[in-house]
Amino acid sequence: MFEGKNGKINSEIMEDEIGDNHIATTATTPLRDDAFEVSDTDKMLAIEENMAQILHTLGMDLTDDSIKGTPRRVAKMFVQEIFSGLNPKNMPKASTFDNNYKYGEMLVEKNITVYSTCEHHLLPIVGRAHVAYISNGNVIGLSKMNRIVDYFAKRPQVQERLTMQIVQELQRALNTEDVACVIDAKHLCVNSRGIRDVASSTVTSEFGGKFKEAATKREFLDYIKLETSFE
């Protein structure tokens, strides 16, 4: 499929094809086994040094007051903020409780804000997640659903994987397969570069257990369409 003078050229062509088409190669976040043997402090120092070199290579004057702190700010942002979901120590504690009030219908948390980063070009993914589950005896705090979405979003991502990871973690926490998630998001790697289509968004979904049934899936999707207004 890919032609070139040598294996390196073929590999580079394939990598570009994957990135430009936003294709995921694994359903789990690709992490090295030694990913957390280095402290966050040391990671930030290394990123700061590398970011300074990148900016220098681009021709930026790192003695300017406006930009000389940028390598440090970027390093801090990468480790402590937008990629903090890579570190398992930041996983939210998804405490569950007995469903003593015997609520047996679907619970939907919709319009959860998603801020993530495309792993192909390191540009933002911004959108909304809609998450639902049907209790089999356990319930989870509403804010924990938001925190789980935020945790998996705070890493280099592809939207399909993000959607699956949210569902899988809620299934684990709630001990039920009856979990669903739909994400509707804009990718700045599509909106601001490449095709530069500012109007399009990407919708992904993952349905588990009862949500694979047509009637239950339709009920969930109908809830998402409901307008929420308190004015």
pLDDT at 17: 65
Coil, strand, or helix at residue 119?
A: coil
The number of folded domains in the chain is 2
The residue-averaged pLDDT of 82-100 equals: 91
- Residues annotated catalytic, as ranges: 118-121, 159, 187, 189
pLDDT score of 225:
92
Q: Is the residue at 97 inside a domain? A: yes
The arithmetic mean of pLDDT across residues 183-206, rounded, is: 89
Q: pLDDT value at position 18?
A: 62
Q: What percent of the chain has pLDDT over 70?
A: 88
Same domain, yes or no: 105 and 204: yes
Q: Do 215 and 187 belong to one domain?
A: yes
Say what the pLDDT of residue 1 is.
41
Assess if residue 231 is contained within a domain: no
DSSP E strands: which ranges in 101-225? 106-118, 124-134, 138-140, 156-157, 179-187, 202-207
177 and 215 both lie in a single domain: yes
pLDDT in tens, 105-140: 999 999 999 999 999 999 999 999 999 999 999 999
Which H/E stretch holds residue 98? strand 96-98
Identity of residue 39: S
Mean pLDDT of 175-186: 97
Q: Identify whether the C-beta of residue 140 lies closer than 8 Å to the C-beta of residue 171.
A: no
Residue at a domain's end among 89, 117, 148? 89
pLDDT band at 3 (very low <50, low <70, confident <90, very high): very low
Residue 167 within a domain: yes
Q: Answer yes or no: do 112 and 214 share one domain.
A: yes
Q: How far is CA 65 from CA 18, 108, 141, in A?
A: 38, 48, 45
Residues 93-99 have a mean pLDDT of: 86
Task: Name the band, by pLDDT with cuts 50, 70 and 90, for residue 15.
Answer: low
State which residues form the domain around 198.
92-225
Residue 132 domain flag:
yes
Report phi then psi at 111, rounded to 5. 60, 40
Q: What was the pLDDT predicted at 9?
A: 59
Encode pLDDT of 38-73 as tens digits: 999 999 999 999 999 999 999 999 999 999 999 999
Q: Residue 202 belongs to a domain with what CATH number?
A: 3.30.1130.10
- Domain identity same for 191 and 152: yes
145 and 170 part of one domain = yes
Residue 6 has pLDDT above 80, yes or no: no
Percent of the chain at pLDDT exceeding 90: 74
Do 157 and 117 touch, CB atoms closer than 8 A?
Answer: yes
State the pTM of this model: 0.88
